[in-house]
Structure 1
């Protein structure tokens, strides 16, 4: 029987190869299995209410009505005496007693015909005051005017002064607003001269009355520039500051004089 002599190097080579295979197997076993990551579901319920709330707020802001929106759906209506009566009731209703509210009420006889939006300022004044020439000549008192015209701003006052040329004749008109004119200058002019018409803002006229610079006892007409609208389409009574100052001026003495029959109110 023949025996083969094996080369020791072959045994070493096979053993080395076996070790390498074992090491590779261990490496493959030691690596963790790769798992596919699952995409987490989007939690829509967390973000949707915030978006909905924002859209609701925006919708509310859009729904807020402006004066221009109201005018688009309806034509402008001229002011009437009832509008002023309602304004006084709303302003004083929660602050005054029933007896005090009665003292603020004005009858229809206290009012001049209201402007129906067809008049210019001159034509309106001619209609409500046909005997103006006589009144103008008979007025001789200082610190007073026969007619007061109340506007929302100095610029509007200047516009009305220019537009009444056909009516005023030889009468003297005094600017009664704060822009570029100090109240001391206006008081001096009223003390030294005779003026027939005063045109200005309620705040300055109220201040002159309070400081005894202007007396209302000789006033026969008080015209409110009721229907005119500014660039934002606001009437004078739509501006809180102007509205409050006008009501304060009316309450100071005008309402009492109207009830006594010496002053007439007009809404232009």
Structure 2
């Protein structure tokens, strides 16, 4: 089929206007190479990260919680014996107090019959101090015939009157009886600064009318036959005086035990026989 004239003329016009330069192919290749190179460079460079805005913290306002008032449990302060004794008013000692003390001490270890044997009748006791007397005035009331007893006492290793108290109270007792004792001799029977052998030697060599001492030392002297109680007529127990800690003699366990042991050893028997009278000062 023959091409038309119009088609032939169009092709001629295109060929006429297109210039064939051999360098154009190279330029096209270079341009394409440049494009690929720039594309590769752009790919090789790390992408610049845009800085993200840090989100600002947002706090929701909450209603304030009411602080719970926690009440701490108070520790119970352990009661001291001085606190208890400070609240208890001093009462005059009576025979029933000593009887109750003996019953409580021996109640668990003794039979009913043995406890009955330790009980004393009211006739075994002297009038108790009503807290209005000094020691001298109290002795004058309970021993109106003291002068006669003092003159008749000639035995060694013995005393007419025994006063049992704490060691701190011994010197006060010895000084406070000056108006009562007259010219009688008083021997201090306690463990501090005086050895028991020295006291035994003094009792053997001389005659003493009053012995003022602690229950422990008097008990030791009786056990070692340094002190004889056959001539003793009165035994006075300090019942009301208190030390700096407000303790009485019977509030201290060791002293209380020594006192009860001494009473059980010989005093209760002598009281039952009527030769010794007990007094609570």
Question: Which TM-score band applies after superposition, normalised by the shorter structure?
Answer: 0.7 to 0.9
Superposed counterparts of 1:89-108, under 5 Å:
89-108=103-122
CA distance in 2, matches of 1:161, 1:7: 134
Superposed counterparts of 1:109-124, under 5 Å:
109-124=123-138
Aligned residue number for residue 162 of structure 1? 175
Deviation string 1:137-170 (CA, Å, 9 cap, x unpaired) is 11111110000001122x3111110111111101
CA distance in 1, matches of 2:88, 2:222: 39
TM-score, scaled to structure 2: 0.78
Aligned residue number for residue 164 of structure 2? 150
Unaligned runs of 5+ in 2: 1-17, 19-23, 51-70
Aligned residue number for residue 193 of structure 2? 180
How many pairs were matched up?
238
What value does the CA root-mean-square deviation take over the aligned residues?
2.6
Q: Deviation at 1:10?
A: 5.3
> Whose Rg is larger?
2
Aligned residue number for residue 28 of structure 1? none
CA distance in 1, matches of 2:34, 2:184: 138
Q: Deviation at 1:24?
A: 7.0
CA distance in 2, matches of 1:85, 1:66: 26
Deviation string 1:60-91 (CA, Å, 9 cap, x unpaired) is 4x1x3323333443422222111111110011
1:191 aligns with 2:201: no
Which of 135, 139, 146 is equivalent to 2:149?
135
Query: Equivalent residue of 1:174, what SS?
Result: strand
Which of 10, 21, 44 is equivalent to 1:19?
44
CA distance in 2, matches of 1:75, 1:100: 33
Which of 215, 224, 230 is equivalent to 1:202?
215
Unaligned runs of 5+ in 1: 26-51
Query: Equivalent residue of 2:45, what SS?
Result: helix
CA distance in 2, matches of 1:158, 1:261: 30
TM-score, scaled to structure 1: 0.81
